[in-house]
Amino acid sequence: MTEHLHDVVLPDNITEELLTSQHIDFIKKYGEEQNKFEYGMTDYLRLSGMYWGLTALELMNAGVTDTQDAIVEYIVKCQDPDSGGISACIDHDPHILHTLSGIQILAMFDKLDAIDIEGVVKYVQKLQQFDGSFSGDKWGEVDTRFSFCAVMILSILNRISAIKVQKAVKFVKSCKNFDGGFGSRPLAESHAGLTYCCVGFLSITKRFDVLDIDNLAWWLCERQNPSGGFNGRPEKLPDVCYSWWVLATLAMLGKLTWIDGAKLQTFIFACQDQETGGFSDRPKDVPDPFHTLFAVAALSLLDYENIQKVNPTYCMPQHVIDRLQLDPKILPS
């Protein structure tokens, strides 16, 4: 393992157990405190925030039932009748990121038929560019995250043939770097989050022949710092969300045993807030639903007790993926 210059010092009083009840209460309060300034300022990512929270609750065996109908109704109102895309919040512009979040939530609830599925398919189709890439919305930003979103959405809807898959694969392949990792577009620096997106894309399209698996796996292993946490790029501080991006990618590649799982678990637990519940990016920072989901999902990949099994490609409970009869390519350990 290479020497790292940027890391964090873990506190001495780490609770090496998942404070499940505190985390459940932490997430549920986000949906109940709608008059707070913080709630109003996060309209722009509302639907993705709902996905993070609802998925974390499901993985902790606390999935919602009493509010399902209201959540489905909200997602329906977020679908734009003209484009077919889904927005983060009612009356906002649709985006492929929030379209995916809406689809993931509806899939977990087994309520995909509540929306205009053909509208979603046509929305994703129109976002594919001449080089096979995808823009995130009508304004045109291109990013490998959006390629992953596109195939995730369409595979969940059983409509992946609606896009030019081989052209999409060619674009993702063009984003591969000498270190085995992937960037946001051709010639962009390798990044663990974007590498997860590209490997996830290739998992769904079953094109692992594009990968230099051992080289990539080693680059991912080099993201682990002495503290046990992962960073997203060389010389960056570790962040608990990379526990998921890196670990899930290694899980797809069948290389989970290549990293120090015990040290990673300790780092993850150091990031949980023992008073309020929730996980933060680093120890003693402010917790949020985003980091809470990816901390819990990473613990699932580490086989931590009393957490549901998560699918590393879709970041959804495995039982949902089984019900949808999805079969992404995941290599054996």
pLDDT digit string, tens, across residues 261-287? 999 999 999 999 999 999 999 999 999
Average pLDDT over residues 226-233: 97
Distance, in Å, from the CA atom of 241 to the CA atom of 23, rounded to the nearest integer, reads 16
Contacts of 17 (CB under 8 A, 6+ apart): 269
- pLDDT, residue 1, reads 45
On the question of pLDDT at 253 being above 70, the answer is yes
Distance, in Å, from the CA atom of 119 to the CA atom of 98, rounded to the nearest integer, reads 14
Per the listing, tokens 């949980």 go with 272
Distance, in Å, from the CA atom of 291 to the CA atom of 166, rounded to the nearest integer, reads 34
Report the chain's mean pLDDT, rounded to a whole number. Answer: 96
Q: What are the contacts of 157-161 at 24+ separation with CB within 8 A? A: 157/103, 157/112, 157/117, 157/120, 157/121, 159/117, 159/121, 160/204, 160/205
- pLDDT, residue 5, reads 61
- pLDDT, residue 154, reads 99
- pLDDT, residue 4, reads 45
- The whole-model pTM stands at 0.96
- Point out the least confidently predicted range of 30-39, 42-51, 154-163, 271-280: 30-39
Yes or no: say if 204 and 160 are a contact pair by the CB < 8 Å rule: yes
Q: Within 10 Å of residue 290's Cβ, how many Cβ atoms?
A: 21
- Which pair of structure tokens corresponds to residue 282? 């680093």
Q: How far is CA 86 from CA 117, 122, 196, 220, 324, in A?
A: 11, 12, 23, 33, 21
Distance, in Å, from the CA atom of 184 to the CA atom of 166, rounded to the nearest integer, reads 18
- Calculate helix-pair angle for 96-109, 144-156, nearest 10 degrees: 30
Yes or no: say if 278 and 27 are a contact pair by the CB < 8 Å rule: yes
On the question of pLDDT at 218 being above 90, the answer is yes
Yes or no: say if 41 and 79 are a contact pair by the CB < 8 Å rule: no
On the question of pLDDT at 3 being above 70, the answer is no
Q: What percent of the chain has pLDDT over 90?
A: 92
Backbone angles phi, psi at 252, to 5 degrees: -65, -35
On the question of pLDDT at 38 being above 90, the answer is no
Contacts of 145 (CB under 8 A, 6+ apart): 97, 136, 184, 193, 194, 197
Query: 70-107: per-residue pLDDT in tens?
Result: 999 999 999 999 999 999 999 999 999 999 999 999 99
Contacts of 73 (CB under 8 A, 6+ apart): none
3-state SS assignment for residue 224 = strand
Per the listing, tokens 């015990």 go with 262
Backbone angles phi, psi at 32, to 5 degrees: -95, -20
On the question of pLDDT at 30 being above 90, the answer is no
